[in-house]
Structure 1
Amino acid sequence: MEKDKYSQVPNPLILMNEANKEKYSESFLALCALQHVQANREVRQCQMPAATTPSLSDSKYFDKTACLDNGLWAIDELVHPIVSRMEYHFSKWSEQPEFIFALVYKITKDFMDGVDDVLQPLIDKARLVGLSAKESWVTGMVKMLLGYLETQIFPPLVTAYHRTDDKLEVHSSWMHLNDQMITFDKRMQLLADSGIQKVALVSEGLSRSLSVFSIYVGHSDWLRIWADIELNSAQNKLKSELEDEASWLCSIDPQDELGHQETTARFLLSTREDYKAPPVSEFVVKTASTMIERSHALPTKGTKIQYCRSTSVQFLNDFFVLLHEGCEALQLPNTALQDESLLKASYAINAARYCEYVVREWGEDTAFMELGAHGNYVDGNQEQIHKHSAQRQCSFFADEIAFLVKLGTDFLEQVMSSILIEFEDLSWDYVQSIGSSNEQNRPDDQVPDEENLEVLPGFVASLEVLRERTTKLKLYLNSKDFLDLWRSIAEGLDYFVYSSIRWGQVKFSDPAVVQLRVDTKALLRIFRPYCSRPEAFFPFVTDSLKLLTMRETDAQYFLEALKKGKDNSKSGLRQHGLHHVDASQAVKVLRSRKSGG
Structure 2
Amino acid sequence: MRSVESCCPSSPPDGNAMMGRRQKRILGVELPALANEVARIETIRLYAETTLKLEVLVGDLEDATFSVTNKTSRNNPFNLLKASRPTDQDIGQKQAKLMLAVKAMNRIEEILVDVANRRPHWTHLLMAVDARVEKALSILRPHVLSNHRILLSSLGWPPSLTTSSNEKGTRSAIPNPLVLMEGENKELYCESFLKLCALQHLQVRRTGRQNKLQGYNNACKVSNSIDTIKQSCFEHGLWSIDELVQPIASRMEHHFSQWSDEPKFIFALVYKITRDFLEGVDNILQPLIDKAALAGCSAKEAWVSAMVTVLSRYLERQAFPSLVANYVDRVENTVINSSWLHLIDLMISFDKKFQVLASSETQLIGSFAYLKGLSQSQLLLSVFDQHLDWLQIWAEIELNDAQQKLNLQLVDEESWSIDVSPDEEIETFLLSTREDYKAPPIAESVVKISWAMIERGQSLWSKLSKTQFIRSSATLFLNHFFIILLQRFRDMDLISAILEDDALLTVIGSINTARYCEYILHEWNEDIGFLEMAVNDKDPDNLFFNDEISFLVKLETDCLVEIVSALLLQFDALSSYYIHDIEQWEREQTEFDDQILEDENMNVSPSFIEALDMLRHRFQVLRLSLNSKDFVEIWRNVAEGLDHFIFSSILLSNVKFSQHGAYQFIMDVKALFLVFKPFCPRPEAFFPCISDSLKLLGMDRKDVKYTLKVLAVEGVISEERLRARGLFHVSVDQGLKILRNRKFEGQFNM
Question: Residue 304 of structure 2 aligns with which residue?
Answer: 138
User: What's the counterpart of residue 213 of structure 1?
Assistant: 381
3-state SS of the aligned residue for 2:320?
helix
The 3-state SS of whatever aligns with 1:541 is: helix
Structure 1 CA distance, aligned partners of 2:260 and 2:536?
37
For residues 244 and 484 of structure 1, the distance between their equivalents in structure 2, rounded to whole angstroms, comes to 30
| 8 A contact 2:301–2:359 mirrored in 1 | yes
Partner AA of 1:41 in structure 2: R
Which of 345, 359, 374 lines up with 2:507 in the alignment? 345
The Cα of 1:440 is off from its aligned counterpart by 6.0
Shift of 1:79: 0.4
Cα distance per residue 1:189-228 (max 9 Å; x no partner): 1110125436889738951243111111111111111111
> Is 2:561 the counterpart of 1:413?
yes
Q: Contact conserved, 2:226 with 2:296, CA < 8 A, in 1?
A: no
Tell me if the contact between 1:66 and 1:202 (Cα under 8 Å) persists in the aligned partners. Answer: no
Distance 1:431 1:103, change over 3 A: same
Name structure 2 gaps, 5 residues minimum: 1-162
- Structure 1 residue 338, shift from structure 2 partner: 2.4
Could you tell me which amino acid in structure 2 is paired with residue 230 of structure 1? E
Q: Is 1:508 aligned with 2:657?
A: yes
Q: Please name the residue that 1:10 is paired with.
A: 175
The answer for unaligned runs of 5 or more in structure 1 is: 257-262, 377-390
Amino acid across the alignment from 1:117: N
Contact preservation (8 Å) 1:132, 1:196: no
2:396 alignment partner in structure 1:
228
* Shift of residue 74, structure 1, vs aligned partner: 1.9
* Paired position in structure 1 for 2:39: none
Over residues 377-429 of structure 1, what are the superposed CA-to-partner deviations in whole Å (9 max), with x where a residue is unaligned?
Answer: xxxxxxxxxxxxxx984422222222222221221111111101111122123
Q: Residue 375 of structure 2 aligns to which amino acid in structure 1?
A: S
The alpha carbon displacement at 1:596 in A equals: 2.1
Paired residues, number = 574
Question: In 2 relative to 1, CA 147–577 (structure 1 residues): closer, same or farther, beyond 3 Å?
Answer: same
Question: Greater relative contact order: 1 or 2 (C-alpha under 8 angstroms, separation 6 or more)?
Answer: 1
Deviations 1:238-280 (A, max 9, x none): 0001111100112212322xxxxxx421111111111110010
Counterpart of 1:78 (choices 244, 252, 256) is 244
What letter corresponds to residue 207 of structure 1 in structure 2?
S
Residues 191 and 438 (structure 1), Cα distance of their counterparts in 2 relative to 1, 3 Å cut: closer
Q: Report the residue type matching 1:492 in the other structure.
A: G
1:532 alignment partner, SS class: coil
* 2: CA distance, partners of 1:564 / 1:148: 95
Q: Secondary structure at the match of 1:520?
A: helix
Cα distance in 2, alignment partners of residues 539 and 330 from structure 1: 33
1:550 maps to which of 687, 699, 704: 699
Q: Over aligned residues, Cα RMSD in angstroms?
A: 2.7
CA distance in 1, matches of 2:708, 2:169: 100
Larger radius of gyration: 2
- Mapped contact 1:142–1:212 kept (Cα < 8 A): yes
Q: 2:575 aligns with which of 406, 417, 427?
A: 427
Comparing 465-474 with 562-571, greater Cα deviation is found at 562-571
Are positions 1:121 and 2:121 aligned together?
no
The change in CA–CA distance for 1:487 and 1:12 in structure 2 (over 3 A counts) is same
Counterpart residue identity of residue 507, structure 1: K
In structure 2, the CA distance between the partners of 1:225 and 1:422, relative to structure 1 (3 Å rule), is: same
Counterpart check, 1:596 vs 2:749: yes
Deviation at 1:572, TM superposition (A): 2.4
Q: What is the CA–CA distance in structure 2 between the aligned matches of 1:553 and 1:35, rounded to whole Å?
A: 107
1:317 maps to 479
Contact 2:696 2:739 in 1 (8 A): yes
| TM-score (norm. length: structure 2) | 0.72
The match for 1:495 is 644
Please state how far the C-alpha of 1:553 moved relative to its aligned partner: 2.4
1:102-139 CA distances to partner (integer Å, 9 max, x unpaired)? 11011111111221122111110111111110000000
1:300-342 per-residue CA deviation (whole Å, 9 max, x = no partner) reads 2221111111111211111111111111211325876422221
1:279 aligns to 2:404 (yes or no): no
For the residues of structure 2 that align with 1:56 and 1:481, how far apart are their CA atoms?
61
- Distance change >3 Å, CA 89–CA 50, structure 1 → 2: closer
Encode CA deviations 1:506-555: one digit per residue, 9 max, x unaligned. Answer: 21111110010011011111111111110001110110111121232222
Counterpart of 1:31 in structure 2 is 196
Where 1:501 maps in the other structure, the secondary structure is: helix
Q: Paired residue for 1:524?
A: 673
1:152 maps to 2:300: no
1:117–1:536: structure 2 CA closer, same or farther, 3 Å change rule? same
| Residue identity matched to 2:547 | D
Letter in 2 for 1:305: T
Q: C-alpha distance in 1, partners of 2:537/2:576?
A: 52
> 1:363: Cα distance to partner?
1.9
TM-score by length of 1: 0.90
1:22 is matched with which residue: 165, 171, 187? Answer: 187
Q: Sequence identity of aligned pairs in percent? A: 48
